[in-house]
Amino acid sequence: MSGAGAVLASSQWAILAYFLAMNFLYLALFFISIWAILRHIYSMSYRNLSEISKSRLAPPISILVPAHNEATSIVSSVKALLRLNYPAFEVIVVNDGSRDETLQKLIAVFELRKTKRIYHQTIATKEVRGIYVAKLSSPWARLVVLDKENGGKADALNAGINVSEYPLFCSVDADSILERDSLLRVALPFMERADVVGVGGIVRIANGCSITQGFVQTVRLPKQWLPCFQAVEYLRAFLSGRIAWANLGSLLVLSGAFSLFKKATVLEVNGYDRSTVSEDMELVMRLHRTLGDQGRACYIEFIPDPVCWTEAPERFKMLWRQRDRWQRGLGQSLWKHLPLLCNPRFGILGLLATPYFWAVEFLSPVVEVLGYLVFSIAAIAGLSQWKAFAAFFLLAVMMGVNLSLLAVVLEEFTLHRYPRVRDLLRLLISAVCENFGYRQFTALARFAGILGFLRGRTVWGVLERRGLETTA
């Protein structure tokens, strides 16, 4: 066998071994998740949410909504947020130097006035141009709008933290929709344990759902296949990985679209980092690292039922941009907190979670793309035995099908958010089909993200959105 042939053969074994190990990890995470979800559901049946919603002991929450050129959806989003079911909260919209009419619309609809409130810069941010509030007698009295120079999402969130009044803050994307009880549910871990620092909730795809007045009225799957595939992908990511890692006390990421944090602890680590494109993951990793260094507990929880609905890209170009950015953000966060890797001082987080994020979440697109290349070349050159090729197909594609199907069945068993049989069937079909084409496409986009990370690209990238109110 020639030198190139030997390299090709050994890379085939390496790729197969990688996929085998990865699938075993996925399986282990799934089984942990199943147990955790069932336990959560049983516990929730004995929690009295209406009791909490009326209580004065529930910790008040500041909802932070960074908004940059969100004129089309901001008013309905804010109205919906102000109608959430929670005893004490405020909504802080941070207009991050929008060039459209975001601020003007907010001022006009909510009858805001500019105040002389002092902007207390606990965390350094770009210049704040003004703080606007509604009249005390108006139904929007809990709304505060902060107008500032453009500084990015992390900067806007930091500014929101600076003006927030309450001990907990919840970051919400301006184009996302929360369920009415989601704050009640996501705040529960903070009431159960004193050492909880952050809590995340499940994010689902809103495309196809009927949405009026900022709330999801009926849950439906989108008609297009691309968002359907993403719906399955989200289910797999949230219902297995995040729940399992949270259960092991080693969750490294909370979605920026919907997560709740203890303000005092976030202030201790100086808020969000403005230099990364994945500020949500970076903050969680920094919290783990800083508190771990100080020998303090840092519990980041994830609960499956508080739902945040978000709009998924419906075009391949937008999807590419999104995945490219996510992968760059992942790389930046992991690289910045490299000392966590294999560090026994951080327990499971250092010895299992961080290596998993490096080897599986970050590097899997490289191995996957390489795998398709190597096996194709080997097949063309006649250097691959059919059993090796079949093993690759089984591990790379068929196991993916199985895991996606498992996620859908698990969702239906436990949370059951898609009431129509038609939608369930569509989800099952998507779970199979997404492994043929879609998955390879996202692997390529993520591969490009890794290249971008290596080149030091920090561009956020614009994601075009249709707006959720019209997706019905």
Residue ranges binding another protein (CB under 8 A): 13, 16-17, 19-20, 23-24, 27, 42-43, 45-48, 51-52, 54-55, 57-59, 113, 115-118, 120, 133, 135-137, 188, 190-194, 385, 387-388, 390-391, 394-395, 398-399, 402-403, 405-406, 409-410, 412-413
Residue 318's CB: how many other CB atoms inside 10 A?
A: 17
Query: Which helix (H) or strand (E) segment is 5 a member of?
Result: helix 3-44
Distance of closest approach, residue 231 Cβ to another protein, in angstroms: 18
Diameter over CA atoms, the chain? 83
Of 26 and 320, the one with the shorter C-beta distance to another protein is 26
d(CA 339, CA 353): 13
Between 77 and 164, CB nearer to another protein: 164
Q: Which is nearer to another protein, 125 or 255 (CB)?
A: 125
Closest C-alpha among 453, 182, 407 to residue 310: 182
Provide the minimum distance between the beta carbon of 412 and another protein in the complex, in angstroms, as a whole number.
6
Helix (H, G, I), strand (E, B) or coil at 156: helix
Which CB sits closer to another protein, 256 or 371? 371
Residue 429: CB minimum distance to another protein, A: 14
Helix (H, G, I), strand (E, B) or coil at 191: helix
The Cα–Cα gap between 328 and 336 comes to 12
DSSP β-ladder status, 143-148 and 89-96: parallel
DSSP-derived letter for residue 362 is: I
Among residues 110 and 346, whose Cβ is nearest to another protein? Answer: 110
Least distance in angstroms from the C-beta of 73 to another protein: 28
Q: Where are the alpha helices (DSSP H) in 256-398?
A: 263-268, 279-293, 316-336, 348, 354-356, 364-381, 386-393
Residue 288: which of 252, 256, 261 has the closest Cα? 252
Identify the CA nearest to 432 among candidates 231, 229, 226. 229
Give the residue with the Cβ less far from another protein, 78 or 163: 163
Q: Half-sphere exposure of residue 74, counting CA atoms within 13 Å on the CB side?
A: 28
Residue 133 CB, shortest distance to another protein, in Å, is: 7
User: Which residue, 20 or 351, has its beta carbon nearer to another protein?
Assistant: 20
Q: Return d(Cα 302, Cα 136) in angstroms, integer.
A: 35
In the bound complex, what is the minimum distance in angstroms from residue 88's beta carbon to another protein?
13
CB of 389 to another protein, least distance (A): 9
